[in-house]
């Protein structure tokens, strides 16, 4: 959850009338005003064939809606995705922005944009905000890792007609709170009646808004149960059930994780049954030397299928890449780890998708799924594809720091990093500036 989530109010009851607004939220590391700019990144930074996007970040202030309209209205390319990274703020403004996004059939995703030109300071200091406010495109980098759209930002996000919440980013909600300063000397009963009417009005407005956005009423019911001081991170089944992100296999792009031993990582969540549960999966590709890598696959353990199946990864028509045997078990995860030669890596980079298949070993346990994938795959099992977008760029980065070919094969641990998926269960403690 957030560390040091600071709350403040600027709410007023003027003499002779009662008036209240919903409290904005302040979060260290975010600009105090909603910032919007056109970002330009490397090839495929925002998906296959996508290198330009619209960044919206910071607190939703009281003039945010007009600023967003002014910026977006002249942009002719309506297919540019919008990436949001915000702690929330003014609810009425978020509703207004959401309706504007809906009218423009916007594509929205949760993602964090960083501008390299700002690395000497922060992403929110005056100098950096000036860079972002400049006309034209801003050279930038994009990640979904630890990105967040919470509180009023969630309402803004719902306005898009195409919505994506990556498995390693966060969409979170909570109830509103009305706070005000009383001028004059109204009776406690008058104040209590006013508060009650305003909360009823706020609930009604939220219900009407969510219905207009095509979102299940269940979300409004959930929001009412979450105290303003808390945040509820929407789970993948909730995102699916409420109609927010209904993809059966949400996935991240391949991206370099700069750990002690760096690797290229991809996370996906696979829908099970009617969407009441999703299974977390992660792939990691390490560079052991210039001629050899190591591919690791981690997924949540399924008690019902334990020890009954194995996984095969393919590039193209039934060309096995790795695995093809039973996994090791570590806690609630099962792990496969195989060495892959440079020719195998090239085969992975040459295709837009990799196919994941599952097979059942014969009763004698002698068959190797690598040798006859077609005959070993279960006829009732639907294979699925994962994209390779970002893998080529990530592998190139690994090779730049990878050791030269060694004289002999160097033994590698079956767990070259933490075995469990690296996705967080909640907002980052403090987003990197």
pLDDT computed for residue 289 by the predictor:
92
Same domain, 333 and 359: yes
Same domain, 165 and 50: yes
Same domain, 115 and 237: yes
Query: Concatenated DSSP letters for 171-235?
Result: EEE----B--EE-S---HHHHHHHHHHHHHHHHHHHHHHHHHTT--HHHHHHHHHS-TTS-EEPP
Tokens of 139: 């050279």
Same domain, 235 and 267: no
- Among 184, 219, 241, identify where a domain stops: 241
- Among 241, 265, 295, identify where a domain stops: 241
Q: Is residue 430 situated within a structural domain?
A: no
Same domain, 65 and 199: yes
For the cut 90, the answer to whether the pLDDT of residue 373 exceeds it is no
Q: Which domain holds residue 313?
A: 255-401
| Cβ neighbours of 127 (radius 10 Å) | 11
pLDDT computed for residue 270 by the predictor:
94
CATH number at residue 284: 2.60.40
Q: Is residue 249 situated within a structural domain?
A: no
CATH number at residue 117: 3.90.226
- Residue matched to tokens 């992660």: 282
The residue-averaged pLDDT of 363-387 equals: 56
The answer to whether the Cα torsion of 315, 321, 325, 326 is positive or negative is: negative
Same domain, 274 and 192: no
Q: Percent of the chain scored above 70 by pLDDT? A: 79
User: pTM of the entire structure?
Assistant: 0.84
Of 151-160, 304-313, 366-375, highest mean pLDDT: 151-160
Q: Is residue 423 situated within a structural domain?
A: no
pLDDT, tens digit (0-9, with 9 covering 90-100), for 1-39: 333 222 222 222 223 333 334 444 445 689 999 999 999
pLDDT computed for residue 184 by the predictor:
75
User: 139-153, 270-284, 308-322: which has the minimum mean pLDDT?
Assistant: 308-322
Q: Comparing 220 with 404, which gets the higher pLDDT?
A: 220
Q: Is residue 433 situated within a structural domain?
A: no
Same domain, 268 and 145: no
CA dihedral in degrees (92, 93, 96, 100; nearest 10)? -160
For the cut 70, the answer to whether the pLDDT of residue 400 exceeds it is yes
pLDDT computed for residue 331 by the predictor:
87
Q: What is the overall mean pLDDT for the chain?
A: 82
- Among 187, 211, 241, identify where a domain stops: 241
Q: Comparing 26 with 138, which gets the higher pLDDT?
A: 138
Q: Is residue 414 situated within a structural domain?
A: no
Same domain, 236 and 330: no
Alpha-helical runs (H) found in 286-429:
342-349, 373-376, 391-401
Same domain, 192 and 262: no
pLDDT computed for residue 167 by the predictor:
97
Same domain, 157 and 281: no
Same domain, 225 and 301: no
Alpha-helical runs (H) found in 245-371:
342-349
Cα distance between residue 39 and residue 370, in whole Å:
44
Ramachandran sector of residue 243 (left: φ over 0; alpha: ψ -120 to 50; beta: rest): left
Q: Comparing 386 with 325, which gets the higher pLDDT?
A: 386
pLDDT computed for residue 358 by the predictor:
79
Tokens of 241: 């059930």
The residue-averaged pLDDT of 272-282 equals: 94
Q: Is residue 177 situated within a structural domain?
A: yes
pLDDT, tens digit (0-9, with 9 covering 90-100), for 121-130: 789 999 999 9
The residue-averaged pLDDT of 143-165 equals: 97
Provide the domain count of the chain: 2
Same domain, 234 and 261: no
Q: Is residue 295 situated within a structural domain?
A: yes
Q: Is residue 377 situated within a structural domain?
A: yes
């Amino acid at each position: 959850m957030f560390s040091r989530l600071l709350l403040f109010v600027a709410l007023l009851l003027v003499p002779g009338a009662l008036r209240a607004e919903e409290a904005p939220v302040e979060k260290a590391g975010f600009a105090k005003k909603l910032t919007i700019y056109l970002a330009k990144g490397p090839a495929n930074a925002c998906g296959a064939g996508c290198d330009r996007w619209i960044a919206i970040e910071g607190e939703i202030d009281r003039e945010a809606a007009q600023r967003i309209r002014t910026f977006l209205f002249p942009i002719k390319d309506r297919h540019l995705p919008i990436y949001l990274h915000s702690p929330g703020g003014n609810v009425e403004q978020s509703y207004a922005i959401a309706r504007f996004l809906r009218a423009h059939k916007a594509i929205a995703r949760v993602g964090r944009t960083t501008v390299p030109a700002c690395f000497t300071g922060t992403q929110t200091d005056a100098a950096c905000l000036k860079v972002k406010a400049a006309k034209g495109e801003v050279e930038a980098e994009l990640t979904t890792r630890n990105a967040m759209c919470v509180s009023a930002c969630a309402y803004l996000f719902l306005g898009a007609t195409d919505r994506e919440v990556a498995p390693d980013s966060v969409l979170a909600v909570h109830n509103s709170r009305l706070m005000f300063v009383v001028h004059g000397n109204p009776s406690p009963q008058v104040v209590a009646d006013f508060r009650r009417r305003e909360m009823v009005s706020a609930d009604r407005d939220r219900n009407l808004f969510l219905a207009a956005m095509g979102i299940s009423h269940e979300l409004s019911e959930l929001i009412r149960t979450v105290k303003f001081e808390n945040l509820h991170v929407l789970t993948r089944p909730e995102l699916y059930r409420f109609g927010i992100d209904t993809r059966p296999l949400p996935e991240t792009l391949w991206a370099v994780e700069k750990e002690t031993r760096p690797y290229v990582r991809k996370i996906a969540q696979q829908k099970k049954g009617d969407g009441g549960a999703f299974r977390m999966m992660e792939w990691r590709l390490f560079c052991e030397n210039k001629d050899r890598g190591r591919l690791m696959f981690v997924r949540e353990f399924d008690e019902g299928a334990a020890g009954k199946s194995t996984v095969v990864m393919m590039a193209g028509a039934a060309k096995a890449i790795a695995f093809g045997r039973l996994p090791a078990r570590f806690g609630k995860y099962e792990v496969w780890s195989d060495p892959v030669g440079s020719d195998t890596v090239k085969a992975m980079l040459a295709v837009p998708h990799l196919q994941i298949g599952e097979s059942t070993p014969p009763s004698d346990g002698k068959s190797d799924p690598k040798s006859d994938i077609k005959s070993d795959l279960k006829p009732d099992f639907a294979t699925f594809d994962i994209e390779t977008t970002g893998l080529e760029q990530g592998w190139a980065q690994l090779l730049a720091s990878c050791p030269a070919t060694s004289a002999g094969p160097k033994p590698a641990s079956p767990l070259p990093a933490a075995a469990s998926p690296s996705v967080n269960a909640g907002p980052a403690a403090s987003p990197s500036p």
